[in-house]
Structure 1
């Protein structure tokens, strides 16, 4: 099922823009809401990579733009922390009315603090994960810096965040000052996961310690060592998403799995961004990707690597089947494979026979007390594995539109 652009009204009648990303591997799935960083938007790298990682764990994710940010309606200067919390609740209402009530909220930075406040009020939410979140929302004043005095004197000031200008009004500062996270956390009855980098220079690691010590169990802490506050490194954000997806399964009841149906043996889905590709092979979920120098995220093996893997696996299985039938002492089979052409070269002119794959190098290492004759025979058998035969023969293709 493809990702969907969605929109919904917030408490003030403003239309908020979101993207609902649904896993291909299974359904029904638990639903999660992702709340982005202060002055950010739903399409930041961290938001996209975390959502993709959660999708691979079978979790549907709604990430959206807070009022006045990204593609959402409204004037950012008239928003505050309380309206952020209300926007999360509006997103939850949208899911409840159109899909299913969310059971997970993930929040990044100030979005993490808002996730705590919103999650505390929502019965359907069973687990909350914060990433680089401040203990008190008032911490965001540090980003405003010297403009605080101007805001207090003139009622508003323009601040710059990541080379973008935003107007902050006095009501925003006053709203932050009225919030006390300790009052929220001490009675927090949800499972809580706190992810934070010791190297975070925007929201110091001490904030994570304060949240952890204030919260009741079940609570968990995972360090994002080496990551920056924005999780700009895709490996950091993808790791955070996979950790959340694995952790939350203990606290969110998984419904009976219903596979997406296909009349074929394998189903593959790739949307219009990057090359991270979801694969449903039988009842097993896989991921394919391309290397970063080809524009991919390198979250999984490339198509050629998967083809290598299929041949290698089939070769190893065939050799072990033969040896077991013969009762030969074959202990381990190691198969090393490589192509002599690159995918980018082939794809440049796929119709040209000279550009197609011409050679696969297969090196087999056999471990066990085998005779020379047995080893020679096993090498012959390797070329008789079904996948090898399929690749070696002329295969007819029937490619058509559904």
Structure 2
């Protein structure tokens, strides 16, 4: 992963501080991230989400809204609508760089902002909200007694997150008038709602309102006991895993990764781009991904080639056992197969050469006696992939 700092002009011409986290090789998607109210692009959750998504092949632009973090401008002059306008400016900057965004991700009030912005961004195919309010005016609950002072003086200092910030009447009026329902109704993108039931800052009922207001395709995934700011590394990592998996269904692959359908009976593997190790695997109507770990130059978007070989052995072993148990009527309630791949010394090799070794550990559940278990262990060795791996094979290579 590489990270680049730069600035771009926001809605009012102020220079906004941004950071672009890029995966190794060509990104399979480009995301624009909107941080939480009064936060910045460097908040822990934003950093962890961006780096995690970049490790999974998704480029992420995060930036400081006008008047926050390292961006220019006075925060007290901004509004919810100006935040949405800053998002449009950020999307235009990505487009100028040849990285047109297809995914919007918003945290807290940033989630409300991406919902408002998405219908006016034709390139967006997926929207993710994290702990977002269904009513942007929800944030004014944090202003307390300062609301009266803001109304009287036009601007007042409010303590938020242990630090003072000046809030203007324009923000209060604008956020109170904001209504997400029309934007949700016009949302022409898949929606993923992430929310924690124990979020004490933005209650879980907000997730329900957002979900019900949107059209399909839409998904909701709970963040369990995560706090509002996703301060625990495990919670941010879980959000990354969910977004990564979900996005593969709804975000189109870049043009160079789209694969012409292979002839019937042929498995076709096509590289994602010349700059990465990621591969798109097409088997009939099914598509998979292969890659290498980040530590060896990959982007970790899928299992390694040897991982796929091990998967074939494990799947075939389980299927073979199930077919036999089904035919015998034996009470096998569940089967799982662990496969470990490594190198071991060939017993008949005078030169001490090493060969590939696949170690299977078979887990069976059900009311089976020792004799049945032993027989099923023998049946595992009759797995066709097992037999293929143990035979001497030949690979014929030709140019197409």
TM-score normalised per structure 1 = 0.67
SS at match of 2:230: coil
In 2, the alpha carbon distance for the partners of 1:285 and 1:98 equals: 24
SS at match of 1:314: strand
1:16, 1:66 within 8 Å by CA — same for their partners in 2?
yes
Following superposition, the deviation at residue 147 of structure 1 comes to 1.3
Following superposition, the deviation at residue 333 of structure 1 comes to 5.5
SS at match of 1:71: coil
Q: Deviations over 1:247-275 (max 9, x none)?
A: 0111111121114269xxxxxxxxxxxxx
In 1, the alpha carbon distance for the partners of 2:23 and 2:13 equals: 30
Answer yes or no: is 1:71 the counterpart of 2:86.
no
In 2, the alpha carbon distance for the partners of 1:249 and 1:42 equals: 25
Cα distance, 1:219–1:321 mapped onto 2, change above 3 Å = farther
Following superposition, the deviation at residue 318 of structure 1 comes to 5.5
Which residue pairs with 1:218 in the alignment? 217
- Which residue, 249, 257, 279 being the options, matches 2:295? 279
Which residue pairs with 1:23 in the alignment? 23
Which residue pairs with 2:366 in the alignment? none
1:23, 1:59 within 8 Å by CA — same for their partners in 2?
yes
In 1, the alpha carbon distance for the partners of 2:56 and 2:38 equals: 28
1:193, 1:221 within 8 Å by CA — same for their partners in 2?
yes
Which residue pairs with 1:258 in the alignment? 273
Kindly report which structure 2 residues correspond to 1:281-360, keeping only aligned pairs within 5 A, or say none. Answer: 313-315=341-343, 332=359
278-287 or 173-182, larger mean C-alpha shift: 278-287
Which residue pairs with 2:160 in the alignment? 161
Q: Which runs of 5+ in 1 are unaligned?
A: 263-276, 288-311, 323-329, 335-367, 370-402
Which residue pairs with 2:50 in the alignment? 51
Count residues with an aligned counterpart.
290
Which residue pairs with 2:111 in the alignment? 112
TM-score normalised per structure 2 = 0.68
1:28, 1:258 within 8 Å by CA — same for their partners in 2?
no
Q: Deviations over 1:304-324 (max 9, x none)?
A: xxxxxxxx8424x657999xx
Following superposition, the deviation at residue 98 of structure 1 comes to 1.1
SS at match of 2:227: coil
1:278, 1:285 within 8 Å by CA — same for their partners in 2?
no
Answer yes or no: is 1:98 the counterpart of 2:92.
no
SS at match of 1:141: helix
In 1, the alpha carbon distance for the partners of 2:7 and 2:154 equals: 32
Which residue pairs with 1:12 in the alignment? 12
Cα distance, 1:153–1:50 mapped onto 2, change above 3 Å = same
Q: Deviations over 1:105-150 (max 9, x none)?
A: 1000000000101111100111100000000110111111221121
Following superposition, the deviation at residue 166 of structure 1 comes to 0.4
Answer yes or no: is 1:180 the counterpart of 2:179.
yes
Following superposition, the deviation at residue 65 of structure 1 comes to 0.5
SS at match of 1:20: strand
In 2, the alpha carbon distance for the partners of 1:167 and 1:43 equals: 21
1:320, 1:333 within 8 Å by CA — same for their partners in 2?
no
1:111, 1:133 within 8 Å by CA — same for their partners in 2?
yes
In 2, the alpha carbon distance for the partners of 1:111 and 1:124 equals: 19
Cα distance, 1:189–1:321 mapped onto 2, change above 3 Å = farther
In 1, the alpha carbon distance for the partners of 2:193 and 2:11 equals: 29
Following superposition, the deviation at residue 207 of structure 1 comes to 0.2
SS at match of 2:173: helix
Which residue pairs with 1:242 in the alignment? 241
Query: RMSD of the alignment, in Å?
Result: 2.7
Which residue pairs with 2:229 in the alignment? 230
Q: Which runs of 5+ in 2 are unaligned?
A: 258-271, 278-292, 304-339, 350-356, 362-376, 379-400
In 1, the alpha carbon distance for the partners of 2:87 and 2:169 equals: 23
Following superposition, the deviation at residue 49 of structure 1 comes to 0.8
Q: Deviations over 1:82-124 (max 9, x none)?
A: 1110111111000001122100010000000001011111001
SS at match of 1:129: strand
